Structure 1
Amino acid sequence: MRLTVFGATGGIGQEIVRQGVAAGHEVTAVVRDPARLPVPLSDVTVRTVARFDDPEALREAVAGQDAVLSGLGAPGRKADGVAERLTRAVLAAMEAESTRRLLVVSAAPVAPHPADDPLLDRMMLSAIGAILKEVYADLTAMEAALAASATDWTSVRPPKLTNGPLTGTYRTVYGSNPRSGRSISRSDVAHAMLALIDDPAALKQGVGVAY
């Protein structure tokens, strides 16, 4: 498949690029600094942009692609609307080029709590949500933009991210989160995103992933 990756130098984005290339996909990485890519530049098509919030600057990168995968978002607690703003630019570029499939990274607290989640897990998720309130508000607004778009989107919602290895073994829940799901590696989030590209059950859905 022809894939475009936004946020390709971030923790999850690097893994999407690495695993996508290893799987034989034609990967286009949209970056500010190509030197931070995790694979030899000969293995990927690189689109260098100065601003990710300019849809016109992104159109060439998404034109004719089978899917777009995004790890764009706030790097810390001060979200400042980053995920929503940048995702809206990606959506506008995709709609202008009639590119439909989009997968983004969100977060577990954006999803409804599983009905059978233990009280301790509910309390932990609520506490984390309070600490990162601004980040999750930004991700909620991003998901609202997805829902209002014409794309075939999927929002992948991991809990705590780790730098653990790729295992390929994790739980996936459509429309909610795995029960007592507390962590997952960035490598496995990337693996899940690639696996969900051609999964019709994931279209226009939030998907929880966790160990």
Structure 2
Amino acid sequence: MRLTVFGATGGIGKEIVTQALAAGHDVTAVVRDPARFAVTGTGLGTGLTVFRADLTDPVPLREAISGRDAVLSGLGARKRSDAGITTRLTQAVLGAMEAEGTRRLVVVSAAPVGPEAPGDGLLDRGMRSMISAILKDVYADLRAMEAALAASATDWTSVRPPKLTDKPLTGVYRRVVGGTPRAARTIARADVAHAMLACLDDPATVKQGVGVAY
């Protein structure tokens, strides 16, 4: 597939690019600063295009999206003070996609944005409530982003992980379409990227939130 990846310098974005290239996809990695972007591994440079762009304006983004089969986004706030940025940047991506007629979009969100898992115990409910209170502005931003997705003409999927780690790719995790896995506590960024790529060809995930966790 011909893929465009936004947020390619972030932890999940780099994993998406690396895994997509390893799978033989043609990848355009959209970055603000190419000096911050690097992928490693034998043969991973094949099929890679690095596209420099300011993500706030949909007009120049159209070139990065034109003719692509799908778009994946690892965009997100890196600290609490960045709250609001995810919605703004995603709206620019949506504008470019709609202008180019590109429909398939997979983004990363967060588990607290999705529904509470049936059967979660007191500990998990308490942790979810505490984290949601601490990061309320970040999660409000993600909810606004998901509202923008729902209002768009794209065939979107929002992948919602819990706490992220930097552990290696396993390819083994739980996934709930339209819900949240019970006792969802952690997952590696590499496995979130794996889940996002797996959603591309799965029609059951279109216009759905997808909870993932170990």
Normalised TM-score (structure 1):
0.97
What secondary structure does 1:209 align onto?
Answer: strand
> Is 2:131 the counterpart of 1:128?
yes
Shift of 1:35: 2.6
| Larger deviation, residues 33-42 vs 129-138 | 33-42
Alignment of 1:1-211 (within 5 A): 1-39=1-39, 42-43=45-46, 44-49=48-53, 51-211=54-214
What secondary structure does 2:204 align onto?
Answer: helix
Distance 1:101 1:53 in 2: 20
Could you tell me which runs of 5 or more consecutive residues in structure 1 were left unpaired when the two chains were aligned.
none
Question: Contact 1:108/1:159 (CA < 8 Å) preserved in 2?
Answer: yes
Distance 2:86 2:58 in 1: 14
What secondary structure does 1:78 align onto?
Answer: helix
Question: Contact 1:17/1:38 (CA < 8 Å) preserved in 2?
Answer: no
Could you tell me which runs of 5 or more consecutive residues in structure 2 were left unpaired when the two chains were aligned.
none
Q: Name the count of aligned residue pairs.
A: 210
- Decide whether aligned partners of structure 1 residues 42 and 18 sit closer, same or farther in structure 2, where only a CA change above 3 A counts: closer
Distance 1:33 1:53 in 2: 14
1:15 partner letter? E
Percent identical residues: 70
Q: What do you get for the CA RMSD once the two structures are aligned?
A: 1.1
Shift of 1:79: 3.0
Question: Contact 1:79/1:134 (CA < 8 Å) preserved in 2?
Answer: no
